[in-house]
Structure 1
């Protein structure tokens, strides 16, 4: 997931405008807007400040932590690519033809995250037993 989307999602969860977020960070709105649109990236000190404001880990802002679940240390680069592809596929999540709200989507993503890493771990164990 790109950092811009993460920043936008976090800001929206706090019901803040880009102007308000820029003020909290001590930057101008165009600069903050460029981060949300992946035109440029904030430096590490700014990432720390953003993480503090949103009460999230720096890892989550950098994509090393997805939906609160830290990527396992045993995960290979291919595993991480597979996981990101799974999460980034577009399309509405629906149940009985009705789009799910953000809270329900988050619950489903949390479950999928856990299932994905458990399945990867089981596959790796099978591979070492053969």
Structure 2
């Protein structure tokens, strides 16, 4: 079974994020991300763990090793997407703050639903712009 740090690193790499990217998304120092990945820090505050799971498109149970499936699935990219398109998509995800309705942050399940809709819209608009 892989450790918390190994799971964070694997998902971060899969998403194409650097430690700096992930640290920026979590509003923390890159050294913290490095310490998580190397197992120097093994107890992550729940608010950071939750945000980490959101940014890495997984759930806290996977990160903590309670389950082996990192679902929800990693974001997929259309075959026509250029490296710049993928960079733009990842930037949109990282810059996206908490999703709120009526001034209250939505839970992780609803956040994932909103992100799936945003993902579909992003690629649809990118495709239309390329055809112009």
TM-score, with normalisation over the residues of structure 2?
A: 0.51
CA–CA distance in 2 between the matches of 1:97 and 1:78?
A: 34
Matching residue of 1:12: 60
Instruction: Report Cα offsets for 1:28-74 as digits up to 9, x if no partner.
Output: xxxxxxxxxxxxxxxxxxxxxxxxx31659xx6xxxx41xxx20110
Runs of 4+ deviating beyond 3 Å: 3-6, 8-11
Structure possessing the higher radius of gyration over alpha carbons: 1
How big is the shift at 1:11? 5.6
CA–CA distance in 1 between the matches of 2:91 and 2:128?
A: 20
Q: What secondary structure is seen at the aligned counterpart in 2 of 1:116?
A: helix
Count of residue pairs brought into register by the alignment: 84
How big is the shift at 1:13? 3.7
User: Do structure 1's residue 83 and structure 2's residue 89 form an aligned pair?
Assistant: yes
| CA separation of 1:78 and 1:102: change in aligned 2, threshold 3 A | same
Matching residue of 2:114: 108
TM-score, with normalisation over the residues of structure 1?
A: 0.52
Matching residue of 2:69: 54
CA–CA distance in 2 between the matches of 1:96 and 1:102?
A: 16
5+ residue gaps, structure 1, are 22-52
Matching residue of 1:97: 103
2:98–2:105 contact (8 Å) kept in structure 1: yes
CA–CA distance in 2 between the matches of 1:108 and 1:11?
A: 16
